[in-house]
Structure 1
Amino acid sequence: MTFKKIIPLALASLLCASAAAEEQVVKIGLTGPLSGANAFAGKDNENGVRLAIEELNAKKGAAVAGKTLRFELMSEDDQGDPKAGVIVAQKFADAGVKFVLGPYNSGVAIPASRVYNDAGIVMSTVGTNPKITQSGYKAVFRIVASDTQVGAAVAQYAANTLKVKNVGVIDDRTAFGQGIADEFIRQAKASGMTVASREFTTDKATDFAAILTALKAKKVDAIFFGGYAPQGAPMARQMKQLGLSAKLLGGDTLCSPEMGKLGGDAVGANVLCAQAGAIPDKQASGPAFQAKYKQRFKHNPDVYAAPFYDQAMFIAEAIRATNSLDPSVVAAALHTMSHKGVVGTYAYDPAGNLKASTVTMYTFKDGAPVPLAK
């Protein structure tokens, strides 16, 4: 009787081994701030990739060289720190990861991109500083609009719709904050606005009273902040406390529910921001994506979950189209193919920038970002 049981068990083991032999594991790396003040964004990015991977594995539709692909997520916390980001990049290279989603921060993406390039890894980032795609790396992609597009869009909206005449600028001295502030100032001046002053802070600061008091004395109509929500929210609170009625403007990093969560009743119609991508509710697959995300993670997606999901799907599509897992082959395909995603169509120019990207202006209502105009 024991002997009869052993045979089926042995056969089952052989069948499992055979099935495993027919699978090819594809590691997808995710790098972002999974701890610290911007962990909400890093987790959101991770969730977007995780949702894509779970759908891809459930469908079992991708195969290369006769082997079914099984995608695995490998997440690493780069802490939003350039040095940590380079260490993560090397860790991915050592682990045989060929496709990486991230980094989130421009300051991390710039130095990390060299490691990924040297290792032959495809890097897809939401870092918006223009320098990221100016190094000539063929496998580096920016999956959202750049600072040039977003900063200019905010300035044009401020000039043409809000009729802002006198604006103050604050940046947090990060690669992102400086880059988007530069682009805002360039377009603001071109649009006829006066830039009363440019002030500086850090991405760790919480007290902006001195800066805001100086800008209040200059009678600014609006303040553009090149920085992140964990600083933008207390800035909005302190503007209210000082009786500073100027609008608070920013890029996509302010277009987050985190602004409302941290800023409370100080964040409302007074805060406006620009986010790359079309309005999800208005896109064919947008509502379905939002519903799937909420069902899976028990809360609504934040700023970048959809682009991370879309790019993961695009990479899988390029792998299928080329029947290859060679990152250089897949990267070449990403440059020539296009992909209809949740928040737009993805097609890249030779430098790795989106050929076209919608930028949507948002404000806040009941603590949540709501779209105003494209």
Structure 2
Amino acid sequence: MKPFQYTRRAFNAGAVAVAAIAATGGSAALAEQKVVKIGIILPFTGADAEDATLIKNGAMIAFDEANAAGGIAGYKIEPVIYDDGTATAGQYDPAQAATSTKKLVADPLVVANIGPEMSGSGKAMSPILSQADMATITPSSTNPDITDPKMAAQFRPKGKAVYFRTVTTDAFQGPNMANYFKAKLKVKTVYILDDSGAYGVGLANAFEKRAKEIGLEVLGHDQLDPKEADYTTALTKIKALHPDALYYGGVAQAGVKLAKQAAETIPNIIKAGGDGVAGGSFLKGGGFPAVEGWYGTNAGPHLTESPEAAGFVKTFQEKYKAVPDDYSITAYDAAKVILAAVETVAKSGKEMNRSNIRDAIQASKVQTLQGTVSFDENGDILDRTVSVFQYRHDDKYPADDITHQLKYLEPAPQS
């Protein structure tokens, strides 16, 4: 699946058509319209392709709306879409993310990017973006290291923040779910697993640290190889320890297999994870009854059922014949922030370049579907909300309908 190739061919075909119109005197204004390119880098190949497509489509709605209104301050918005997933990895691939980012920054018309979906890709991309002084806004990547000022030399060597987020980080997502375990689920003992990726390890470690601080007994913490097929050894060990709960830090490639096998080995304990399990890839891959009862979180407010997002949800369903998730909306909001930055730079009379767009994003106070989006000096969104969900099968709706099968419960208690 390589949607970016189709998209780029479509744009090239469009450019040829515009040139032909101009040559015949049909529409000089259209031919002369200035262009701003905005990248999208997401894993369209592998286990997370379902969620990546929902994210991409959320951003595309914002771009389509802008172009339908005549562009932004005279600029047509042209997405440039790359895949950071590979068949070899079976999911996102940091090496491919680096390659895609280098291709993106090689095009001088690209002024900003949306993505990545996964933090492992983000760690590979951020230093390249920093050297190019190009901002990215991630709608779903939550590992705190990338924006941690203590790690600036590694992830933003030129100094300025380039990695912005429309979601909070695992410094809140993991600990807040530990709070939920204790306060709401009355968990006393927990076993922790992660999938060995940057996101999964960071999330699981943050959860573990907070769990210990608030008196939960951590019976063990193991890593899963996402390419392995059988997790019986780990699950048998967990079963013998009789924990109240299992917490998994990771994404769908390992998570789907874990859910199916845990349903057989440890069916009656509480099972939970982060936003890596609260999405369409986990639901469709695991299916009911395997995912029944699992808790998951989003690193932001629940949006798809809010009145403010009703118009977006309707448009998304009509355009893509699919149900959006919350990260479709944080992607839409990320695009709106970049579009606002394009307008700010255009109206200021400054050159339309990456540095000026980055500065405008840093200073953003943009009204979006999730409220006002603004960032701290490191690029992290100021809102720290973490939302808790649970899979509960509702046979009135399709089994893969993420909105109706993953029930929103409440915000997690903040640390």
Is 2:200–2:249's contact at 8 Å kept on the other side of the alignment? yes
Distance 1:201 1:344, change over 3 A: farther
Q: Which residue of 2 aligns with 1:75?
A: 81
Shift of 1:189: 0.8
How far, CA to CA, are the matches of 1:274 and 1:226 in structure 2? 11
2:106 to 94, 98, 108: 94
**Range 129-138 or range 169-178, more displaced:** 129-138
Q: Deviations over 1:271-299 (max 9, x none)?
A: 00110222224534212211111111101
Is 2:259–2:291's contact at 8 Å kept on the other side of the alignment? no
Shift of 1:359: 1.1
Q: Secondary structure at the match of 2:25?
A: helix
The answer to whether the aligner puts 1:238 opposite 2:290 as a matched pair is no
* Unaligned ranges ≥5, structure 1: 1-8
Distance 1:211 1:342, change over 3 A: same
Q: Which residue of 2 aligns with 1:4?
A: none
How far, CA to CA, are the matches of 2:167 and 2:175 in structure 1? 15
The answer to whether the aligner puts 1:20 opposite 2:38 as a matched pair is no
Is 1:272–1:361's contact at 8 Å kept on the other side of the alignment? yes
2:316 to 279, 289, 293: 293
Is 1:255–1:303's contact at 8 Å kept on the other side of the alignment? no
Distance 1:214 1:337, change over 3 A: same
Shift of 1:335: 2.2
Is 1:225–1:249's contact at 8 Å kept on the other side of the alignment? yes
Q: Deviations over 1:36-55 (max 9, x none)?
A: 11111221221111111111
Shift of 1:243: 4.1
Q: Deviations over 1:212-232 (max 9, x none)?
A: 110111111111111112322
The answer to whether the aligner puts 1:203 opposite 2:226 as a matched pair is yes
Q: Secondary structure at the match of 1:104?
A: coil
Is 1:78–1:84's contact at 8 Å kept on the other side of the alignment? yes
Q: Deviations over 1:327-373 (max 9, x none)?
A: 22222222222122223431100000011132110001225211000
Is 1:344–1:357's contact at 8 Å kept on the other side of the alignment? no
Is 1:278–1:360's contact at 8 Å kept on the other side of the alignment? yes
Q: How does 1:60-209 map to 2 (within 5 A)?
A: 60=70, 62-63=72-73, 68-79=74-85, 80-96=92-108, 97-125=110-138, 126-134=140-148, 135=152, 136-209=159-232
How far, CA to CA, are the matches of 1:193 and 1:140 in structure 2? 33
How far, CA to CA, are the matches of 1:253 and 1:53 in structure 2? 26
Pair member with larger Rg: 1
Distance 1:239 1:54, change over 3 A: same
Q: Secondary structure at the match of 1:100?
A: strand
Q: Secondary structure at the match of 2:191?
A: strand
What amino acid does structure 1 have at the position aligned with 2:57? N
Shift of 1:260: 2.7
Shift of 1:186: 0.9
Distance 1:252 1:35, change over 3 A: same
Shift of 1:194: 0.4
How far, CA to CA, are the matches of 1:198 and 1:317 in structure 2? 44
What amino acid does structure 1 have at the position aligned with 2:83? D
Distance 1:25 1:274, change over 3 A: same
Q: Secondary structure at the match of 1:285?
A: helix
Shift of 1:61: 5.1
How far, CA to CA, are the matches of 2:206 and 2:227 in structure 1? 23
How far, CA to CA, are the matches of 1:18 and 1:244 in structure 2? 64
* Unaligned ranges ≥5, structure 2: 1-19, 86-91, 153-158, 394-398, 400-404
Q: Secondary structure at the match of 1:25?
A: strand
What amino acid does structure 1 have at the position aligned with 2:31? A
What amino acid does structure 2 have at the position aligned with 1:104? E
Q: What is the RMSD of the two structures over their aligned residues, measured on CA atoms?
A: 1.9
How far, CA to CA, are the matches of 2:21 and 2:62 in structure 1? 35
TM-score normalized by structure 1? 0.91
Shift of 1:303: 4.5
How far, CA to CA, are the matches of 1:10 and 1:49 in structure 2? 29
What amino acid does structure 2 have at the position aligned with 1:142? R
Q: Which residue of 2 aligns with 1:369?
A: 406
What amino acid does structure 2 have at the position aligned with 1:215? I
Q: Secondary structure at the match of 2:56?
A: helix
Q: How does 1:23-34 map to 2 (within 5 A)?
A: 23-34=33-44
1:40 to 33, 44, 50: 50
Shift of 1:207: 1.8
Superposition misfits of 4+ residues, deviation over 4 angstroms = 9-12
The answer to whether the aligner puts 1:350 opposite 2:382 as a matched pair is no
Is 2:113–2:137's contact at 8 Å kept on the other side of the alignment? yes
Distance 1:206 1:153, change over 3 A: farther
How far, CA to CA, are the matches of 1:11 and 1:317 in structure 2? 29
Q: Secondary structure at the match of 2:254?
A: helix
Q: Deviations over 1:86-115 (max 9, x none)?
A: 111110011222211111111111121111
TM-score normalized by structure 2? 0.83
Shift of 1:16: 2.1
How far, CA to CA, are the matches of 1:85 and 1:78 in structure 2? 5
Is 2:170–2:203's contact at 8 Å kept on the other side of the alignment? yes
The answer to whether the aligner puts 1:259 opposite 2:318 as a matched pair is no
Shift of 1:269: 5.1
